[in-house]
Structure formats: structure tokens, C-alpha cells
Amino acid sequence: DIQMTQSPSSLSASVGDRVTITCRASQGIRNDLAWYQQKPGKAPKRLIYAASNLQSGVPSRFSGSGSGTEFTLTISSLQPEDFATYYCLQHNSFPWTFGQGTKVEIK
Amino acid sequence: QEQLVESGGGVVQPGRSLRLSCVASGFTFSTFGMHWVRQAPGKGLEWVAIIWYDGSKTLYADSVKGRFTISRDNSKNTVYLQMSSLRAEDTAIYSCARENSKYGLDVWGQGTTVTVSS
């Protein structure tokens, strides 16, 4: 199975900060990676697909990069509505696996 | 509007069974693979199972293999998750999700809560 190691597990940041979250795959997954945002009591919302493609309707302050084993989600200027938990998902091979999640909290 | 709505959750004793349903609307259900994903209280997301668009193939996480069965009825736009021999560690919110070609899961339901407790 492919393990997805996501870091950090949590972070505190202020509105306007630049935030970076990383996912590392235990083996190469090409660009078969998506990023999701989840708010309490809500379904996950896809932000990025194919590692670097912005989902339609998602603000351009979100961006993704990487290929192979190292991936990054960046929020260029954190907004109040961005405080949530973020997950990566590898869909290169079964079983699909999620990162452990990164909770972004208000500083 | 593309939508998935789950039902069938509840409180069940260990060792018993439960069947979850997920009804799709707003898209051509029969052309998409469908997944179940769960989230235990206070924990992260865990992939559970997939069924191919035509029902020809299914795959499971090791944690549920042999106990859970995913199926679908394309005439009813519905995917099911039959859960048997339930354990306390199966307690979670179960969500169905649509697979978009090679791009992961793009549409999710709100989930239905399963609690396994005596």
C-alpha cells in the first residue's frame, strides 16, 4: 500500500499569511493526487486535482505542485474562510490513501 | 445540480449488519465509478471501497474486506454498502463519492452516521 505522509498535522496562521502543506508518498504516484478542504460537519471539497490543477470555482490563492513523491498545497494569502482541515488523496493505486490531515487554525 | 444523498445509518450492536444507500442525481450515474469513504469520530478520512461504473469490479480496504460488500443498481441511481460483522472500530460517518475519470473524487455526499455499540 502507498503511504501518504502529510505535514504539518496542524498549524496556526494569521489572515494574510502564506501557508504550505506537504504530502509525501511512499512510492511514486506520478501526478495522481488531489487536495481537499473539509470544514466541521461538511463533506470534503476538492480544491486541486492532478496535483496542480485548480478545481473550477476555487479561489486562485490555492495552488498545488509536485509530482512523483513530493506534493505541496499552498494558500498564498490565508482568508478567514480558509480555516479548515486539508487532506491529500493519492489515487494512483488501490487502496487509495489519504494523508492524515492538516488542521489550519487561527493564530 | 450533481448530488449524492446517503441514508441507512444508525446504532447497531457489534456483530450485526447494516445496509447503507447512496442516491445520485443531476448526472449520468451509470458512467461513473463510485466509492465509499469513512471518517471515524475526530479522525481523518479512510477510503473503504470502489465499484466500477458497470458493477463489473469491486475493491476494498483491508480493514473491511470480507465483511463489507459494495453494489449498485444503475436503474435506481443508487450505490449500496452492505456491512456485516460490524465492530466498534467501524463507527464512523460513511460518505459516498463519485470518481471523476482519472482525477480522484469530485462529488461527495454529506454522509450517514454508523455507530457500533452494545
**Distance to chain A for B73, nearest Cα, Å:** 23
Contact B102 A44 (CB under 8 A): no
**Confidence category of residue A107, pLDDT binned at 50, 70, 90:** confident
Summary mean pLDDT of chain B: 97
CB B39 within 8 A of CB B46: yes
pLDDT one-digit tens code per residue, B76-91: 999 999 999 999 999 9
Q: What are phi and psi of B57, to 5 degrees?
A: -145, 145
pLDDT one-digit tens code per residue, B42-75: 999 999 999 999 999 999 999 999 999 999 999 9
pLDDT of A106 reads: 87
Q: What are phi and psi of A80, to 5 degrees?
A: -55, -35
pLDDT of B108 reads: 98
Residue B102 predicted with pLDDT over 80: no
**Distance to chain B for A15, nearest Cα, Å:** 25
Who among A1, A43, A95 is closest to B95 (CB)?
A43
Distance CA B108, CA B45 (A): 13
pLDDT one-digit tens code per residue, A16-70: 999 999 999 999 999 999 999 999 999 999 999 999 999 999 999 999 999 999 9
pLDDT of B92 reads: 98
Residues of B in contact with A94 (CB under 8 A): 50, 59
Whether residue B57 lies within 8 A of chain A, CB to CB, comes out as no
**Distance to chain B for A104, nearest Cα, Å:** 14
Residue in chain A lying closest to B43 (CA): A100
Residue A76 predicted with pLDDT over 90: yes
CB A23 within 8 A of CB A6: yes
Who among B44, B62, B110 is closest to A101 (CB)?
B44
